[in-house]
Amino acid sequence: MSEQTNAIELRGLRKSFKNTEVLKDINLDVARGSVLALLGPNGAGKTTTVRILSTLLSFDGGEAVVNGYSVKKDPKHVRASIGLTGQYAAVDEYLTGRQNLEMMGRLYHLSRSDTRRRTEELLTQFDLQDAAGRIVKTYSGGMRRRLDLAASLIATPPVLFLDEPTTGLDPRSRLAMWEIIQNLVKADVTILLTTQHLEEADRLADRIAVLDHGRIIAEGTSNELKDRVGKERLDLVVENAASFEAAIRIFGKEIMQSDGDRRLVSVVIEDAVRDIRRMLDVASENKIGIESLSMHKPTLDDVFLQFTGHEAEAANNNE
Amino acid sequence: MKHLFDYKTYQVKAEQRAQLYWIFSDLSVFIQRSLRHIFTNMDQLLGLTIQPVMFMLLFRYVFGGAIDTGGQNYANFLVAGILIQSAAFGAMTTSLSVATDLQRGIIERFKSLPTIGWGVLMGHVTADVVRNFIQALVMIGVGLLVGFRPTASVIEWLMIAGLLFVFTFAFSWVAAVMGLLAKSVESVQWMGFFVVFPLTFASAAFVPTNTMPRALRLFAENQPITHIIEAVRALMIGTPVGNHAFLSVVWFVVIALISIPVASVLFRRYSGR
């Protein structure tokens, strides 16, 4: 294992399928123990990047280094350094949860005793011990995904690839998954995750790289990106014209946009809870009647609009 | 659960062993995996066993009376045919298993591990061989109930087992190639049907070939499935084996020698859907 500071390095990575160029000159560094989110719509090249880094796909140009090993020249060492969790839970339906983990442990070439110990630890950590003896066919979607992630952790790999780890999960399972990933970060695992949701990238990642049509169009911390995209805003719809005028006068330069016909006032907010409470207090002090309010976070579309001038759109190539 | 994630203080390492050790270890893991599938996927095992029993009863009681086997008891004639036909259908399970693995993405996962990926295929083929032997025992049992009276000695039964092994092994590798080409469970089912149906019915499985039209007869008498059926049948009921056993071994060894490397190359080249 190398002691260099970056766990993943991409230099000028290029990949084409037939005549379609899906990755055009990707440059990326992921520092050891950090989380990088690759953010982009379907077909942007996220999965292709992950598949190249996990040695599943060859590439046409550039250099890819994972955990100090060249993906092209030393795929065996790369494979021994990584865990991979795909978009769908790639676990064996006709084995039990425990058998799945034990199988993976042996395939990572752990000793029998390490395999057994890690299996029981992971079953406990991922809250699967009660279901451990049941075949996976009987598991819920969230349980499968947890098992899938557990399987990629069995050999304590220093680098982890999570390809859309929460796609298709219900909100509760998604939260559980987020919590697990946040714990992994504390464990000093380097994670590259892909997502279509800014919220997910924001919540989990140290740095975000925005991928569009095979190019990285923006990279930075979540705050850096959001500063460039715009803040969260609160939309207030007030009861009548008098309230509208009062609102315009009182909120003054905090107002982002307003619309007299719909009696809509949009205000920039920094801290949702504090700002909403303050505005409601100010509104009632000044007898501004509020009909409804809603909050808007910058979305992937906002990011794309900002950096590309077009909305996030799925490319047609076969990612 | 948090402290257990602390990889700074807690890491497991791959065990240091000779490369050959891991090749055998990987193989045994994949074989164990597929063998477990036999018994957790009971629907499949039942389906694969019930279908040939139905065929056996159908031919024995519905068609059998009208088929002239030259004085031979029809049950004695039939069992070898059904045995090989069900083994051929059984071998197609490999194509289903491979296509399912591809569709689920588990092959991708195996390929991202420091392991021999093609062991997955070997696992499925081994499970097919085991499944076919279970099936064959059921077949022969049902055969005995409907009038099958074999005269084979222990050595002849061992030869039959050997032929069944060579046949299933070779045919399962063909099925693995089909699974890798089809990539989806639906298309592979049709493929299996189109391969197995003509090969087993245009053969000496259920009827003597001498009433078939000339062209069909020429095909039926010289294709590998007929050779193996004739060989198994002769061994079971004590008629002359001729060169059928020799020819079928040659056929299926050649088929295996072609399909194994083809499957391995397709497997290595496979790069996602």
Nearest to B81 by CA among B238, B236, B233, B245: B233
What pLDDT score does A4 carry?
64
Point out the residue among A91, A104, A110 whose CB comes nearest to the CB of B15: A110
Cα gap B53→A86, rounded to integer Å: 42
Cα maximum dimension of chain B: 80
pLDDT, one tens digit per residue, over B253-269 is 999 999 999 999 999 88
Q: 3-state secondary structure string, B79-108?
A: HHHHHHHHHHHHHCHHHHHHHHHHHHCHHH
Backbone angles phi and psi of A289, in degrees to 5: -80, 130
- Does residue B271 carry a pLDDT above 70? no
Minimal Cα–Cα distance from B141 to chain A, Å? 29
- Does residue B10 carry a pLDDT above 80? no
What pLDDT score does B9 carry?
60
CA distances in angstroms from A121 to A128, A148, A288, B258, listed in the order given: 10, 15, 57, 45
Q: Which of B12, B33, B42, B44 to mutate to test the interface with A (most CBs of A within 10 A)?
A: B12
Q: What residues of chain A lie within 8 A of the CB of B113, using their CB?
A: 79, 104, 107-108
What pLDDT score does A60 carry?
92
Cα gap B14→A11, rounded to integer Å: 30
pLDDT, one tens digit per residue, over A74-131 is 998 999 899 998 777 689 999 999 999 999 999 999 999 999 999 999 999 888 999 9
Helices B42-57, B119-145: axis angle to 10 degrees equals 40
* CB-defined contacts A:B, below 8 A: 111
Contact B112 A110 (CB under 8 A): no
Determine the distance from the C-alpha atom of residue B165 to the mean position of all C-alpha atoms in its chain, rounded to a whole number: 8
Better-predicted residue by pLDDT, B151 or B273: B151
CA distances in angstroms from A55 to A15, B60, B252, listed in the order given: 13, 55, 35
Residues of chain A with pLDDT under 70: 1-4, 89, 230, 300-301, 308-319
Minimal Cα–Cα distance from B116 to chain A, Å? 9
Cα gap A216→B111, rounded to integer Å: 28
Contact B112 A84 (CB under 8 A): yes
Residue B272: pLDDT band with limits 50, 70, 90: low
Tokens of B5: 């994630």
pLDDT, one tens digit per residue, over A187-216 is 788 999 999 888 888 889 999 999 988 899
Contact B113 A79 (CB under 8 A): yes
The DSSP 8-state label assigned to residue A195 in this structure reads E
What pLDDT score does A319 carry?
38
Minimal Cα–Cα distance from A27 to chain B, Å? 23
Contact B4 A125 (CB under 8 A): yes
CA distances in angstroms from A131 to A123, A286, B125, listed in the order given: 9, 58, 30
Closest A-chain CA to B3: A187
Closest A-chain CA to B113: A79
A259 forms beta bridges with A264
Q: B2 and chain A: CB distance < 8 Å anywhere?
A: yes
Contact A186 B6 (CB under 8 A): yes
What pLDDT score does A5 carry?
81
Minimal Cα–Cα distance from B185 to chain A, Å? 15
What pLDDT score does A67 carry?
93
Closest A-chain CA to B9: A187
Q: What residues of chain B lie within 8 A of the CB of A82, using their CB?
A: 112
Contact B36 A99 (CB under 8 A): yes
Rounded percentage of chain B residues whose pLDDT exceeds 70? 95
What pLDDT score does B273 carry?
46
Q: Where are the beta strands (DSSP E) in chain A?
A: 6-17, 20-31, 35-39, 61-66, 69-70, 82-85, 159-163, 190-195, 207-212, 215-221, 232-238, 255-259, 264-269, 290-296
What pLDDT score does A186 carry?
80
Q: B169 with B254: CB under 8 angstroms? A: no
What pLDDT score does B177 carry?
94
pLDDT, one tens digit per residue, over B66-77 is 887 777 788 888
pLDDT, one tens digit per residue, over B154-190 is 999 999 999 999 999 999 999 999 999 987 888 888 8
Nearest to A86 by CA among A34, A50, A40, A41: A50
Rounded percentage of chain B residues whose pLDDT exceeds 90? 48
Minimal Cα–Cα distance from A184 to chain B, Å? 6
The DSSP 8-state label assigned to residue A139 in this structure reads S
